Structure 1
Amino acid sequence: MGQTFGKEENKDLIPVIGKCYDRYFADPNKKWNSAEFYHAVCETVEEMNKMLGCTQFRVPKTSTLELAYHNHHKGKEKSLSKEEFQRILQDIILDSGVTGKGIKDIFLFIFGIPIVTTFIKQRAAPNAVPNDVFIPAVTSASVFLLAKLNKL
């Protein structure tokens, strides 16, 4: 129910993080500037979102990324290690947050929309369709919409 980030997805993200590390950071002789590093992290976040099937993680702020980089990259003259990269990603994801709001969508669609449409129906045409038919029909339509939008 709803697409939110949980512990099960965390295990699946470790290979994605490793693959992105190998793609962007495996060369120990590459000199990084902040724009290239930010781009590589954004590409990694995009890969994690693709793996989860929808947009889950927000793109981090530059200040958050720089702070996490300076906190975790100990060997300033050496290249970034895989463990340091994972810790940096953990910090920026925890700070940036998750955009999945599955439970809010479910409550809005399953309870909110039928209630609002019932009030509107009662004002506009109270006797046009009986409430015993109207409320389940609107609820079913909102569940169908949730399914079509991949929220369920």
Structure 2
Amino acid sequence: MGQFLGAEQKKEKEIGPIIDWCYEDYFSGAGDGENWTSADFYHAVCQTVEEINRAIGSTQIRVPRSDTVRAAYDKHHKGKGKRLTKNEFQNIVQMVILDSGITSFGAIEILLYIYGAPIAAWAIKQRLGPKSIPNEVFIPAITSATVYLLAKLSKI
């Protein structure tokens, strides 16, 4: 449980600067906001989600639906016709991420590696030299090596 909370705090620290950077990139020169269409705003939010996914390392956040973005915008942007503030943009992105949900591609990928790599290595070992290394040593060693590699690649 503590590891999960630590990972969430780490991701939150990674996501905060990305949201700030995207706000500066998309909205700092936006003027008073009158020239922005809903399509422009949706594009900016989708680009922000894409940057967050890139920073996390794999596709974790689903692309939001346009009505979700519209609802979040209407809820958090109080000054109609005024420029969107950084705090409003952060609240909108957080609401969109929470509403869109998180895909399980990362979890499936990890399970595939943790269980699939040792099974594949075991099958190859059984074919090439079944008596060379005992299974009681081989399978834990391959599993440990897989977990170590995933940790080094920042997948877990």
TM-score (norm 1): 0.69
- Matching residue within 38, 44, 47 for 1:43: 47
Q: Which structure has the highest helix share of the two?
A: 2
Between the aligned partners of 2:96 and 2:46, the Cα distance in structure 1 is 11
Structure 2 gap segments, 5+ residues each:
none
Between the aligned partners of 2:111 and 2:57, the Cα distance in structure 1 is 22
Counterpart residue identity of residue 92, structure 1: V
Between the aligned partners of 1:53 and 1:102, the Cα distance in structure 2 is 9
Between the aligned partners of 2:131 and 2:44, the Cα distance in structure 1 is 58
Q: CA 1:116–1:18 in structure 2 vs 1: closer, same or farther (change >3 Å)?
A: closer
Identity %: 51
**Structure-1 residue corresponding to 2:56:** 52
Q: CA 1:62–1:147 in structure 2 vs 1: closer, same or farther (change >3 Å)?
A: same
Alignment of 1:1-12 (within 5 A): 6-12=8-14
Q: CA 1:10–1:146 in structure 2 vs 1: closer, same or farther (change >3 Å)?
A: closer
3-state SS of paired residue (1:6): helix
TM-score (norm 2): 0.68
Between the aligned partners of 1:95 and 1:62, the Cα distance in structure 2 is 12
- Matching residue within 44, 66, 83 for 1:62: 66
Using CA pairs under 8 Å that are at least 6 residues apart, name the structure with larger relative contact order, 1 or 2: 1
Structure 1 window deviating more from structure 2 (142-151 vs 10-19): it is: 142-151
Cα RMSD of the aligned pairs, angstroms, is 3.7
How many residues end up aligned between the 2 structures? 150
Query: Contact 2:58 / 2:106 at 8 angstroms: preserved in 1?
Result: no
Are 1:18 and 2:20 counterparts?
yes
Between the aligned partners of 1:133 and 1:79, the Cα distance in structure 2 is 63
